[in-house]
Each structure stands twice: as C-alpha cells, then as structure tokens.
Chain A
Amino acid sequence: MSPLLLLLSLLVLSVAGFLIGQRKALNLAGSVGGTSRLHSLPVYYGALTALWCCLPAFFMFLIWLGFEQSIITALMVADLPDEVRALPPARLNVLINDIRSLASGNIVSGEITPLMRNAAAQYISLKGIGQMITSVIVLVAAVAGVLLVHRRIKPELRARNQVENVVMGLLVVCSTIAIFTTIGIVLSILYEAVRFFQQIPVTDFLFGLEWSPQMAIREDQVGSSGAFGAVPVFAGTILISAIAMFVAAPIGLMSAIFLSEYADRRLRAVAKPLLEILAGIPTVVYGFFAALVVAPMIRNSGAQLGIDVSSESALAAGLVMGVMIIPFVSSLSDDVINAVPQTLRDGAYSVGATRSETIMHVLIPAALPGIVGGLLLAVSRAIGETMIVVMAAGLSANLTANPLQAVTTVTVQIVTLLVGDQEFDSPKTLAAFALGLVLFFGTLFLNVIALTVVRKYRERYE
C-alpha cells in the first residue's frame, strides 16, 4: 500500500473506531439507565477509541517512514558483490545514488551496468516488501487499538480524563517543535561544520584573506587548490548590509515618526497598506528588479560621470535591500514610538517645544532602546537576506570597501556552493555549512540582544 493510501485507510478506521466506541457507550447507557450514569459523555468514549486506533499506528508509520531508506539501502548494499562493497565510500555513494535513481526511474549519472540493474530490481522488491510489512503492522495496530478500548468501555471508565490527557500531551508536543527545530538547526549545521574544520583549520577559515572554494576534484585536474579564508565574504556581507541600513534606517524611522506623529487619518490609511505591500513583495522579485533595472541604471549613470561601476555592484544590491527593509524598520519603530506615554509628549508641549523638538529631544531619547533593538533586528534581516544578493551581487570574493565594485556575501556563497551536484565529503560543500554556522550564530547574537532590549524597553512603560 502506498503511504497516502495507508494514511487514508487509517483515517477511515479511526472514524469507524469513533462510531464503534460511541455506540458501545450509548448501548451501555441504555442498559444502566441513561447517559448521565456514564462517567463521561458518549463522544469521549468514541474519541478514546479513535485515539487508540490512530495514534500508535501512526507512530509506527512515522518510524518506518523515517528509517525506510536507510534500512533498505543497507540491505541492498549487503547483497552487492564484495568487490563493489570494497570501493571507497565516495564511489560507493555515487553508485548507491545511481541505483536509487534507476529504481525510481530518474536519470542516472553514469552508464547502466547489469549489476546496477539487478540492484535496482532488488531495491524495488525490498521497498515493496517493506511497504507491505508496514501496511500490515499499521493496520493490525489500528484494529487492535479499537478492540482493546472497546473491551474496556464500561460506565465507570474515565474516558474524558484520558482523552484530555492525550490531547494535552499532543499540545505539549506541538509546542516543543520550536525547540526541536532549533536543536535540529544547531546540530545539523554544527555536525557538517565540524567535518569541515577537520580538513580546514578554524583560524584559516575565520582569518584567511583568500576565498576561492573551487577545489580540484581529480588529482591531475588543472585548477586552484581551494582557499577558504572567509574574511572577504564577511566583509562583503557587512558592506552590503551597511548600504542597506544606510537607506532603510533614516527612511524607515522618518516614515514611522511621520505616520505616528504628523499624518492625519486619511494619509495613514493610504501609507500603511503601501508599506505593507512593500513588505509583502517576495525577495526574488526585489532581486530580479535589482539585477535588471537598478544595477544597469547605476552602471549607466556611473559611465556618464566617467566612473567605472561593476555591473554587479554592492550598491545596487544594497539599495534594493534597503528598500526591502524600510517597512520592517518602520513598523518596529512605529510600535516603539506609540508605546511612549502621552504624558511625556504633553510635558514637552507644555513648555513650548515644537513637535519636531518634542520628537528629537523627548520621544527619540525615550524610545531609543526600542529603536536600537528594531534596527538590530533589521541588520540581522539584511545579513540573512539571500535572493537579492544571489541575483544582484557578485560571486567573486573581493576584499574592498568600494560600493561600486562587486562583492559577495555569506548567503550567496552558501547558495552557490550547495546548488547543483553535491559531494558530502568535499570541503567545498562543507564550507557552506561552516558559513551557515557563522550566519546562524551571528544573527542569533543580534536577535537575542535585540529581543532583550525591546522587551526591557516595553517593560519600562507598561
């Protein structure tokens, strides 16, 4: 049975279990004198039956789904001839991938040998057997669950409490997914990054000035030997983010001030949705726009002034990224400015300050922690932004502070290193995870500071 069909039949069985449990409870109620003699409402007996039907079975299904591929692959590899299994791990992996794609009818990288064809047939049959066994186990578990609960249904069964306990457990599990996601991110990135640092020393990575990750795959191949000094990449990221913040911070902040302190209701009704649209435009659209319209525009105007501008200049990517961040800065600052108590404004007005003086000398100093927090979040957003820089910034790592030249960023490098064919033991691929590690902890650092500052600030005026 295919997984989808299996899930559907599980659903049908659960509904049946619900009806069976409810019916049994109603029958019992009839014999003991009304539903009020039951501990719980009949619905709960039905729900308990359905839960016992689907939860254990679904759990088994998930376990199989998680380990299906590795178990089947292990079994298939065990059946391969000895001389094939003696291949170096990298070659063996390529072969296994080819057999898998052959089995699923996809394109294979090399030529198809009889050995591979046999192995693919073996793979398919193993997969079929595995699916059959799972289907039987899952369905048996489901039916067994129904029967088990059905026998236990008595008027004094505390069905509601049991159902509520299970539901509560599910709620807790759902709310811990955020923790597991974080753990998953940290562990997966750390694991691959550590493998990278086993081949390239950490100090070379963090302080090296040369970045050219193209490694020669074969010994005799002409090409660079690969250099993994990430300083130019970090510098490029900082340059582009700085340009973006140079655009976004003043414009975003002034928009927020204008909207919350000056604008009348009509203007606000127009301007707020406008900023929301700007925030809702996908970054790939900004990237397309930056590469196709803004970059040539900057290049042409540079040419007219006699300045040589790269067609992938940091300026184009930074400017467009800045525009993307404007609504982010503006909405965060808006919240913060609105949280400043009215009494502070009134106090300033009463001593004769103009509006702009009130804003500059009272509101902004009072809101400063919140504004700084918001700006830090915006910086973290700019550092992590991917599509705009992938489409509009360069690939070559230049160590320069000139915004008219092409620079590359952490996210661009991650994308270029990981898109396409990957080998999971070459430093080239693993370098992406090392960069990811820096990116994750860099933004985490900014976020934690920003969120703490903002929270502290909120508490001050609440």
Chain B
Amino acid sequence: MNKSTRKSAARSSSGRVKTIDIVNKGLKRRYGKEKRFRFYGLLSIIASAAFLAFLLTSIVSKGYSAFLQTYIKLDVPLEAGMLDKQNPGRSDFQGIIKEAIKDYYPGVTERQDKRELYSLFSSGAAFQLRDEVLNNPSREGSTISLWVLADDDVDMLMKGHIKREVPESQRRLSDKQLRWIERLEKDNRIEKRFNTTFFSAGDSREPELAGIWGAVKGSFYTMLVTLMLSFPIGIAAAVYLEEFAPKNLATDFIEVNINNLAAVPSIVFGLLGLAVFLNFFGMPRSTPLVGGIVLMLMTLPTIIIASRAALKAVPPSIREAALGVGSSKLQVVASHVLPLALPGMLTGTIIGMAQALGETAPLLMIGMVAFIVDIPGGFTDPSAVMPVQIYLWADSPERAFVERTSAAIMVLLAFLISMNAVAVVLRKRFERRW
C-alpha cells in the first residue's frame, strides 16, 4: 500500500464520501451496461445472419423442386397415314397425341370431359412427339412409348403444392382429373424426372416449357459487351488519373464525377440509355449491345476506383528503378507497374461484373423486360437477362412459376458466388505486401 491509498483508507474510516466508493458503487451498473452493449452488437450480427439464413433457406426450399418435372408415359400408336408424307414435320402431332390420350381413357366421351383430360398434358407434348418422329423416321406403323411433359397443374399436384384433400372448388384440378391421375399412378405411368427443359429452353407462358437458357445466354452476351468495354476503359482511366494526371481543377472534376457516379441510382443509368442510346442514336431495343453499354457506364466507377487502389499499392521504388535505367514514363507503367497491379485490377473488375450481372433496374428501362421466347444468338438479338427473367417470372400468377423463379435465383446466386470466389482466390494468391 502506498501513501495515497493509505490516506484515502484513513479518510474513509472517518465517514466522509470517497471517490473510490462512488466508483465502486457504480461499477456493477457500468459493467452491466457494458455487457448489454456488447450483447446488442452480437445481436445485430446474429440478426443479419438470421435474415440471410432465412432468405436462403426459403428460396432453396421453394426452388429445389423445380429441378424435377413430372412426366407422363404415353403409348402413341403411329398408324400409317397419320404423318404428312411430303413434310413429316408439319403433321398434326397435336391430334395424334389426343388420339393416344383417348385410347388410354376410352371411357371419356363428353366434350367438356375430353377438354379437361387433354389439359392434363402439356402443349409441349406434341413438340416432343415431333422431335421423336423426325429423329427416327422409320417409326411409322409402330407404337411409340413416350414420356411426355405433364401440365404444370399436374406437376404442382405431384409435388404437393396442390392438395388433394381440399374441396374441389378450391383447387385447380377437378375430382375427375384427380381420378385420371390416380389411374396413371396405379399404372406407374407418371413420375418425376430431372428437368432438362429448365436448363435448355427459353421463356414460355407455360411453366413446364419455360427455361432459363435464353436468359443465361442473354446475360452472357451482355456481360461480354460490358467486360470488353469497361475493362480497358476502366484501366486506362485509372492509369491516367493515378500515374499521369497533373493535380489541377480538371482532374479534380473528373475525380468528383467518378465518385459521384458510383453513388448515382442505377435506374438513372437506364434513363440515360433510353434517352441517348435508344431514342437519340436509334440503337436496337432489348439487345445485349445496349444493355452491355449501359451496365458498362454503371460499373466503370467501381472498376476505376479498385484499379486506382491497386496502382497505388505498387511502391514508388519500382517506378524509380525503371526510370533509372532509361524507360520512358509510359514504358514504366506498361511493363512494370501494370503487371504488378493487374491482379488487384482483375479482382475489382470481377466484383464490378458480379454487380452488373445482378442488376435489373436499368435494363428494364431499355426494354429488356420484353417477353422473348427465342434464344439469342448474338449481340443485336432481342434477349432477356437472368435478373430480368426472375423479375418477369416473379410477376406471373401461376403457382409453378414460383418454384421456377426460386430455381432461377439459385442459378443466379451460384454464378455470383463463384465469381466472388474467383475474386477472393485471385486476391489471396497474388496479393503482395511490399
């Protein structure tokens, strides 16, 4: 015990209030406060995590079933004379399918009943038959046993989204239709298989015929345009601003502009695209070309800012050494600074591209929201992109589109996560501390 504490102890025995007592008295309350504060911090992290988990599980639980699709086995008798002789591709396949269905359910004769019966099968069944016949022309005269697509209502029933117990008036399938389906089940003629249509088809109004391949290709072309424009331009701008630009009003103005553009709402870029590229320059609507240019303008600030940080991280000694052996300033940058900064620039670019891949709003403005069935084959074909496809499907009233939307989200998230993973690996692998 040193002198001062002894003194204060002495004073406390004399009955006067001591500072240490006040401190000690408040200590419990203060520690409690400290604990609570810490708890709130932890709670907010947990809240974010819980929300993320909630979001992901609800999307996966809604979407995983879209990877399976209900098929019905149908025996199609291909009698001679049913096919068009000159042009087999233009035969009445719809009629042949209907005949086959009637053969399986001979008891159904009423017109209304027949219509209900046919509606159990997808309108895509005729196309399946057509492909089958065209691929094997010799099948005429025999009976083809074909697994055809079931209608989306049947699919929903098989996946349990339409309940059999509810009263007939509240379900999209009538009691009669249920009995027909039960017969198929008894004969083992209905089963769920892997949904190849989802990964190979374009958009469709019929959920069982709709796929994301068109949107994936559209996204691919759009991203290609964005990458080809924004990578070189972004790096050039970053190199100029970081390595060559004099400190003056003009470069300050450029910098303010870049920082500000990074925070401009994305939909404003869509307005720019609509007014300038579509209306003024008359570029084609709904195409990856215009979409790519608009997204390029949007991601450019991200890439420039990241690239400048990468250039800044290259130590000046590198530049001085190169200048010392007689390189010109441009040679210094091109053959010494750029290679060292490239991994950082690539990381920034990939992150910018991931942002662009998930962007929807500006593309709505330039007409990429149109209903497009064909799979795009180039930069000037009308096309959808994945986030817009998700938006369109989310707006569709059919129950079967809910699971397809969720599945498309899963595919999009898979792309985004792998892009970000590449960026992280790149950063880890090439990061250099000087």
Contacts and interface: CB of A to CB of B under 8 A. Distances in A.
Interface string B267-289: 11101101110011111100000
A424 interface: yes
Interface string A304-347: 00000000000000000001001100000000000000000000
B81 to A, nearest CB: 36
A352 B23 contact: yes
Contacts of A282: 357-360, 387, 412, 416
Nearest to A100: B282
Contacts of B267: 384, 386, 411, 414-415, 436, 439
Given A289-B59, A391-B391, A178 B257 contact: yes
A181 interface: yes
B416 A185 contact: no
B49 interface: yes
Nearest to B47: A251
A113 interface: no
Contacts of A292: 62, 394, 402
A285 B417 CA distance: 14
B268 A285 contact: no
A414 B274 CA distance: 12
Q: What class of interface size applies to chain A in its complex with B?
A: 35 or more
A108 interface: no
A172 to B, nearest CB: 6
B48 A182 contact: no
A182 B261 contact: yes
B34 interface: yes
Nearest to A291: B394
A149 to B, nearest CB: 19
Contacts of B420: 276, 280
A174 B237 contact: yes
A433 B34 CA distance: 51
B275 to A, nearest CB: 4
A448 B236 contact: no
B263 A284 contact: no
Given A178-B258, A188-B272, A391-B391, A285 B282 contact: no
Contact of B265 (A271, A384, A390): A384
B241 interface: yes
A125 interface: no
Contacts of A380: 263, 265
B400 interface: no
B44 A185 contact: no
A165 to B, nearest CB: 10
Nearest to A106: B382
A252 B47 CA distance: 10
A189 B268 CA distance: 9
A250 B43 CA distance: 11
B254 A274 contact: no
A98 interface: no
A291 B406 CA distance: 13
B237 A288 contact: no
Nearest to A324: B51
Contacts of A66: 281
A433 B274 CA distance: 10
Given A179-B257, A274-B52, A172 B59 contact: no
A380 B259 CA distance: 14
Interface in A159-196: 160, 164, 167-168, 170-172, 174-179, 181-182, 184-185, 188-189, 191-192
Interface string A393-437: 000000000000000000100110011000010000000110010
B58 interface: yes
A72 B284 CA distance: 15
B44 A387 contact: no
Closest 8 CB pairs of A and B: A384-B265, A258-B41, A282-B358, A69-B282, A188-B275, A356-B37, A174-B236, A386-B361
17 contacts: A182-B261, A189-B268, A189-B275, A255-B44, A262-B38, A267-B45, A282-B412, A284-B360, A285-B412, A292-B402, A354-B30, A354-B34, A381-B265, A384-B265, A384-B268, A440-B265, A451-B256
Given A415-B364, A418-B274, 12 more contacts: A174-B240, A175-B237, A179-B254, A181-B297, A188-B276, A262-B38, A280-B417, A288-B406, A383-B265, A419-B369, A433-B275, A450-B263
Interface of A: 4, 65-66, 68-70, 73, 104, 160, 164, 167-168, 170-172, 174-179, 181-182, 184-185, 188-189, 191-192, 250-252, 254-255, 257-259, 261-263, 267, 271, 274-278, 280-289, 291-293, 323, 326-327, 352, 354-357, 359-360, 377, 380-381, 383-387, 390-391, 411, 414-415, 418-419, 424, 432-433, 436, 439-440, 443-444, 447-448, 450-451
